[in-house]
Structure 1
Amino acid sequence: MVVKNQIKLIKSLHQKKYRNLHGLFFVEGIKTVRELLDSGLEVYGIYTTDNSVLDVGQDFQVLISESELKKMSSLKNPNTLLGVFYKPKTQEVDFTDWILALDHVSDPGNLGTIIRLCDWFGIRHLVCSPDTVDCYNPKVLQATMGSIARVHVVYTNLLKFLRKSKKQIFCTSMDGQSAYGTNLRESGILVMGNETHGISPEVEAVCHKKIGIPQFGNPTAESLNVATATAIFLNEIRRG
């Protein structure tokens, strides 16, 4: 009965409204679960088909069958381990370094990759508009490969956040000044937009400068994937 109730709870966490209701989220796979445990996030429970792969104490670890794991999992082929964690408390955004802001990024894979990029380039604060995909979406978490433990993600009214900021705001745009020749200071805010529509006109209106990535050779590709573009911009920021 205990495992049955846990399966019901974890299946509900596949949906954002229940993640918000319970203040919980789940991740899958040995590496990702281990990274979140090492980060100090509060654990709700660890569910595994093999007790030998992880030693977190009997208070948290529950041995389950492969069929039970499959019922909990969001994956076609679940991998041994599923961890349920409490969502971390919201922290104040630190303006002493660069901040990445996302305006309605909707694809889970893109957001997960962007979180990994923030981790790689040492961007600790990622500010998202409310209509950006949930960072605790299972597909996002799979794509982060554990980086969610080291990047602080905030959802807020992006327009109000930018208006209150005293930092220089750089909006990315196809027709912006080349990022390669732009003076990117020690800190600022870089705004990336929606995969199809880019940055909304309202957000673009509060930006101080528009920057872009020049295309070489004959124009062929319509645009760059938002995660790919983020990698190039963050590299320029750290290189500069």
Structure 2
Amino acid sequence: MLSKSQVKYIRSLGQQKYRKEHNVYLAEGEKLAEEWLQSNAVIKMIVAEEPWIDANQALIRRHPDAELLIAKSSDLESISLLQTPNKVLLVVETPKEKAKLPQSGWCIALDTIQDPGNMGTIIRIADWFGITDIVCSHDCVEAFNPKVVQSGMGGHLRVNIHKTDLDGYLSQTKMPVFAAILEGTDVYDMPRNENGILLIGNESKGIHPQLIAKASHKVTIPRKGGAESLNAGVSAGILCALLLPR
């Protein structure tokens, strides 16, 4: 059963400073747990109700070094970060950030994305389109925030997430940079490209002017109705579908 100290530790991982201190993050819920346990992720702790543990012995055996803790539903409710607590929660080691930034293929660059749901959605979009790298400015929301992990739907297992000085990265890259802005070229008039960096800006302020200046192409999704703008995640998905090679 969960001890008071274990409950306190898991609860603390809802805060970024403790995730950084312990170099771990949370993956919560049956769907995420199944995907993580099928992967090569380093699982530090499996916290679950006894019936779930009994039904998933094969997955649990894949991670013999993980600490296995039986929890009551009330325990999971007390440590859960979801509105509706699930039957299982994992504590996972945060992967080391790859030192080399992408210089070929396609990647998504994010300038000051603040909403965890948007960040998670964009990670999921990258995973869908086979984009293996996302490059974030230092002031983006933390990629391993529990809400980001939840909305990323397993994308964290396949997408490398980098944090860097975007200005410096865009200044030195030889890849074409496609900045998503309202005043850009109609994306339907642009050819598909074998490689490139799709630059998506902050939810309310867009892309910083100095980064727009680094773009080789400015692109927009044509507006037909009266909406002021598109959600950052929605924009990223549409632009990936229209710019990447089939």
Q: TM-score range by the shorter chain?
A: over 0.9
Instruction: Identify the match of residue 107 of structure 1 among 88, 109, 115.
Output: 115
Equivalent position of 1:226 in the other structure: 232
Residues 172 and 191, structure 1, Cα contact 8 Å, conserved in 2:
yes
Structure 1: stretches of 5+ with no match in the other structure: none
Instruction: Give CA deviations for 1:46-98 in whole Å, capped at 9, x if unaligned.
Output: 00013224221475321111121122110122110000000001123332310
**Alignment deviations for residues 2-53 of structure 1 (CA, whole Å, 9 cap, x no partner):** 6322211111111111111110001111110121222201111000013224
Given that 1:31 and 1:146 are in contact with CA atoms closer than 8 Å, whether structure 2 keeps it comes out as no
**After TM superposition, what 4+ stretches of structure 1 lie above 4 angstroms from structure 2?**
none
Is contact 2:107–2:198 with CA below 8 Å preserved after alignment? yes
Q: Distance in 2 between matches of 1:83 and 1:160?
A: 36
Q: Take 1:73 and 1:23, find their aligned partners in 2: how far apart are those partners?
A: 19
* Other-structure match for 2:78: 71
Please give the alpha-carbon distance, in whole angstroms, between the structure 2 residues aligned to 1:167 and 1:225: 25
Match of 1:26 in 2: 26
Give distance in 2, aligned partners of 1:59 and 1:72. Answer: 22
In structure 1, C-alpha distance between the alignment counterparts of 2:4 and 2:173, rounded to whole Å: 48
- 1:46 and 2:46 equivalent? yes
Asked if the contact 1:39/1:150 (under 8 Å) is kept, the reply is no
Which is worse superposed, 227-236 or 155-164? Answer: 155-164
Deviations along 1:135-192, one digit per CA (max 9) or x if unpaired, are 1111111111112111111111111111121111111100000111113420011100
Deviates more, 1:50-59 or 1:152-161: 50-59
Q: Tell me the secondary structure at the aligned position of residue 142 of structure 1.
A: helix
TM-score (norm 1): 0.94
Which of 160, 174, 178 aligns to 1:166? It is 174
Deviation at 1:239, TM superposition (A): 4.5
Where does residue 211 of structure 1 map in the other structure?
A: 219
Equivalent position of 1:14 in the other structure: 14
Helix, strand or coil at the partner of 1:206: coil
- Aligned residue pairs, count: 238
Report the aligned-residue RMSD: 1.6
**Cα distance, 1:102 vs structure 2:** 0.4
TM-score, length basis structure 2: 0.92
> Which SS does the other structure have where 2:38 is aligned?
helix
Amino acid at match of 2:44: Y
In structure 2, how many angstroms separate the alpha carbons of the residues matched to 1:76 and 1:178?
A: 40
The equivalent residue for 1:117 is 125
Deviations 1:84-142 (A, max 9, x none): 00000112333231010000111111111111111111111001111111111111111
Percent identical among aligned pairs is 37
The structure-2 alpha-carbon separation of the partners of 1:188 and 1:174, relative to structure 1 and needing over 3 Å to count, comes to same
